[in-house]
Amino acid sequence: MRTDASDTGWLRPALFVVLAVTVFRLVMLAFDRTDLFVDETQYWLWGQRLDFGYYSKPPLIGWVIGLVTRLASDAPFWVRMPGTLFHAATALILAALAARIAGRAAAIWTAALYVTLPFVGVGTVMISTDTIMAPFFALALLFFWRCGEDRRPVFALAAGAAIGAAFMAKYAAIYFLIGAGLAMIAVPGRRIGWGNAALMVLAFAVVISPNVVWNLTHKLATVEHTMDNVGWVRGGAGLNFGSMAEFFGSQFGVFGPVAMVALLVGYFRRGADARALALLSVPPLIAVTVQALLGKAYANWAVAAYFAGTVLAVLVLPRWGRWLALAFNLIVTVTIPVLTVLAPWPVVNGKPLLNRYLGREELSTRILALAQADGVPVYADDRDILADLFYTGRNSGVTIYAPRNEGRPRNYYEQTFPLPEGFDGRILVLRREPLDCGAGAMPPAGILATSGVWSDRQIIPYVVDGGCLAARP
């Protein structure tokens, strides 16, 4: 630990770098031409129906988007805008941690590398639970480190509350408690004392208690969905080395190749601070790599490794290595938002590069126009279609229904907006194949010419009586 750890000479240059990147991202976001993705429109809908939990995630992202859109508007810019600010805050918090560990230069480089990381760039054009978790996870790291320095109970409570808030954004925040436990065992300087450890856990438990109660009163809905994602818990485990290799390889893109190499080297570096940072970083990377071996894992599932991991990578990298990592990051930082502004260009193999983020609003607009023309509600069994219909149709006056599932709902829409039992009115049904109500194929209600993500998927609208749906399995 540096004796000048309290030096604040890092703040002004770090703030300058973070603000420059943040302003660039906000300007580009204002001209973003992509549609909100299925998860983003779902989070927006959660923000309109505030609760202590939701079908697939804890509630904090819904609260954040709900607050911002109530203060501003429901436009895509405002739905996504918190991501840019949350990552900017995370960069400065991690810089404060780096300053305590290694001084001014490490703090500035931590801020610069974090705010330009590839996964951060993605998280500023498409809001996610990782983004909302990030600043609270970083705060937990900072307060935990401070508690190890002077063992003041206030820092233990703050660390517990911060990681509780992170957990209310994404359950992956639980990795912090694992890493902190390992650090306390292996590194004397990180031992905060049994009393402080208990206070930290108590604060964590208090903050997450509303979501725990919500789950207990909603058939453990979010926990059940998490188990669905894990896969092998329900379906049995296999050994898929290809999946594991694919996931691990993807981390060089998520964190950046130079930073990832430095992080892996840092896991074996000597020194108390490096060892503590390694133990705070490595649990999610190991856990998700094993998950990828036993089932499947998405590239972003180990993001919790890269908060402490960024500081560790900075400590490992020589000056030229830091510049090399920053150069790669800046290419990604510029490229990602530029592509969202230029969409649908460029076209690759006859399709826009960002094809999966285009055409969603267009399809919803045409569906809603058909429903308004006939004065009927809409029924769809496709989560992607339902998600955008609720967002695009927020002021249309059209009622939207999902299937009524007799077992456990498959998504938030089936859980919250199922077709009423015994519904027998006329309704616009969206299908991917012809609809037969028992007297032969029904005539379509129109043609839904589509582009973007729906360009190669047939969506057929039918106006039928509710009894037709009741007769179908």
Among 66-70, 257-261, 306-310, 430-434, the range scoring the smallest mean pLDDT is 430-434
Q: Give yes or no for residue 72 having a pLDDT over 50.
A: yes
Position 5 confidence tier, pLDDT thresholds 50, 70, 90:
very low
3-state SS, one letter per residue, for 145-177: HHHHHHCCHHHHHHHHHHHHHHHCCCHHHHHHH
Q: Higher pLDDT residue, 25 or 470? A: 25
Q: Give yes or no for residue 67 having a pLDDT over 80.
A: yes
3-state helix, strand, coil in the chain (%, to 5): 65, 5, 30
What is the rounded distance in angstroms from the CA atom of residue 281 to the CA atom of residue 267? 9
What DSSP assignment string belongs to 349-368? Answer: TTEETTGGGSSHHHHHHHHH
Question: What are the tens digits of pLDDT across the range 315-338?
Answer: 999 999 999 999 999 999 999 999
Closest CA to 77 of 119, 44, 54: 44
Where would I find the H helices in 343-430?
A: 360-374, 383-392, 412-416
**How large is the average pLDDT for residues 8-14?**
93
**How large is the average pLDDT for residues 64-75?**
98
Q: Give yes or no for residue 471 having a pLDDT over 70.
A: no
Question: What are the tens digits of pLDDT across the range 322-381?
Answer: 999 999 999 999 999 999 999 999 999 999 999 999 999 999 999 999 999 999 999 999
What is the rounded distance in angstroms from the CA atom of residue 280 to the CA atom of residue 298? 21
What is the rounded distance in angstroms from the CA atom of residue 448 to the CA atom of residue 460? 7
Q: Give yes or no for residue 470 having a pLDDT over 80.
A: no
| Half-sphere exposure at residue 404, Cβ-oriented, CA atoms within 13 angstroms | 11
Question: What are the tens digits of pLDDT across the range 167-210?
Answer: 999 999 999 999 999 999 999 999 999 999 999 999 999 999 99
Domain boundaries, the chain: 231-317, 359-471
Position 467 confidence tier, pLDDT thresholds 50, 70, 90:
confident
164, 211 contact by CB (below 8 A): no
At residue 448, what is the residue type?
L
Among 136-150, 375-389, 430-444, the range scoring the smallest mean pLDDT is 430-444
Q: Is 73 strand, coil or helix?
A: coil
What is the structure's pLDDT at 468? 86
Q: What rounded mean pLDDT belongs to the chain?
A: 94
> The whole model's pTM is what?
0.95
428, 400 contact by CB (below 8 A): no
Position 438 confidence tier, pLDDT thresholds 50, 70, 90:
confident
At residue 236, what is the residue type?
G
Q: Which tokens is 339 given?
A: 């592509």
